[in-house]
Structure 1
Amino acid sequence: MRNLILSAALAAAGLFGMVAQAEPIEAGKQYVELTSPVPVSKPGQIEVVELFWYGCPHCYQFESTINPWIEQLPEDVNFVRIPALFGGVWNVHGQAFITLESMKVEQKVHDAVFEAIHKQGKKLASPEEIAEFLVGQGVDKAKFLSTYNSFAVKGQMEKAKKLAMAYQISGVPVMVVNGKYRFDIGSSGGPQQTLQVADHLIERERAAQ
């Protein structure tokens, strides 16, 4: 249902993207200002969060747009990816992401997980299935599974759940700037426009410091 709603929003964004692009970026239009700001993970830096799910086709498509943008971010911006945890396979994939982050794997491993699900038709619906797949990406199976079940990863899972609730998200992909402003591809008018909104809000926060 969440993906169906976002698909409709994306369709509308495709029809009206040029109009949205011409409009000034304002609260209530391209983004929502949260009533209760969420503390950032690194005080003193401007935080940009993307909430996503490996199984989300829109998140997968957004990768080719957002990853080059992330590489060009200035030093005062801290980019953070957080898995959305809506239960079931969302949580399995989210825990796998946190595990791989804890293991400090390269971005190409995350890319491979996305490709496996969206290009190869793999479900990767259990930690064992994910571990088997990751062997082909140079990830040690036993280390992955032990890290997946570790106390530290489970603690990060709880933190991710609380953050998603604080951000009041209902679908993915979603971005949040400095714990204050939430927006997505539908509200922004398209993938590239989403990053324009992010840039606008980063500049706003930088000017306020």
Structure 2
Amino acid sequence: MLKRVSALLFGLAFAAFAHAEGDTFEAGKNWFAVEPAQPTSTGDKIEVVEVFSYACPACNFFQPTMAKLKAALPANAELVYLPAAFRPDEDWPTFQRGFYAAQALGILDKAHEATFDAVWKDDGTLHIADPTTHRPVSPMPSIDDVAKFYAKFGVKAEDVVGVANSFAVNTKMKRADAQLKAYGVDSTPTLIVNGKYRLTAQSAGGVDKVIPLVKFLVAKESAGK
């Protein structure tokens, strides 16, 4: 009986939320079904994935929205990052490798926002473009450069390089590339909700619509459970 009551209350709550915030969101316009739906990595929690690259200027611009989204997610949802590598001309594979090395070494929480700053702020150390001319730098940052930057977070640069070139990280990179294809992602930043729904700021109708749309889809999944 209690389970039935809980399910009914969740359904009513979702209906109210949908009426308040989601009645203008349309499947096939604001969000797209991932077919087939993909497995998640967050257990009982609803997974919200950000597909991004540190070397993506739009992703850098999107970071304040991501910070607000992370704070706005309900307790039954969890944010996960998925680094993309489909722009080798902009050094994305190097930063994907660095992400997984930082994750493996336990410094990702400290290094995540700082890496964006290192790439995009004028005094950053991992520029992919000249701050004045905006032309690509040559050579692009290497994994050794990323490792030297990560050393400020309490790890040795040589350890970062070793982990970055390990079998485990190579496997994670291949898995990430396959996951992006399965999601149907062709641009960044892109968000995936619970392995089922894909959206971008453009599809949502603007950056200011992203958080309401993600919360709508999280509520939709919560009601389904």
TM-score bin (small chain): 0.7 to 0.9
Indicate the RMSD between aligned Cα atoms, in angstroms.
Answer: 1.9
Please, which runs of 5 or more residues in structure 2 have no aligned partner? 1-20, 129-139
Which of the pair has the greater relative contact order for Cα pairs under 8 Å at 6+ separation?
1
1:163 aligns with 2:165: no
Deviation at 1:140, TM superposition (A): 1.7
Structure 1 residue runs of 5 or longer lacking an equivalent are 1-20
Q: What's 2:137 paired with?
A: none
Name the CA distance, whole Å, in 1 between partners of 2:53 and 2:45: 25
Tell me, in whole angstroms, the C-alpha distance in 2 between the residues paired with 1:106 and 1:151. Answer: 19
Q: Report the CA distance between 1:22 and its aligned residue.
A: 9.4
Task: Give the number of aligned pairs.
Answer: 189
Query: Structure 1 residue 64: deviation in Å?
Result: 1.2
Partner of 1:53: 53
The equivalent residue for 1:73 is 73
State the alpha-carbon separation in 1 of the partners of residues 106 and 152 from structure 2: 17
**Which moved further from structure 2: 114-123 or 141-150?**
114-123
Confirm whether residue 144 of structure 1 aligns to residue 160 of structure 2. Answer: yes
Taking the aligned partners of 1:72 and 1:168, their CA distance within structure 2 comes to: 26
The TM-score with structure 1 as length reference comes to 0.83
User: Which deviates more from structure 2 when the two are superposed, residues 69-78 or residues 97-106?
Assistant: 69-78
- Alignment partner of 1:99 out of 98, 101, 105: 101
Deviation >6 Å, runs of 4+: none
Query: Over alpha carbons, which structure has the higher Rg?
Result: 2
Judged with a 3 Å threshold, the aligned counterparts in structure 2 of structure 1 residues 43 and 138 are, in CA distance, closer, same or farther, namely: closer
The sequence identity of aligned pairs, in percent, is 32
User: Who is 1:40 aligned against?
Assistant: 40
Once the two structures are overlaid, the 10-residue window that deviates more, 106-115 or 51-60, is 106-115
Looking at structure 1, the residues matched to 212 and 22 of structure 2 have their Cα atoms a distance apart, in angstroms, of 12
Aligned amino acid, residue 101 of structure 1:
Q
User: 1:44-101: CA deviations, max 9, x gaps?
Assistant: 2211111001011111111112113213433321211000121521111111111111
Task: Look up the SS of the partner of 1:179 in the other structure.
Answer: coil
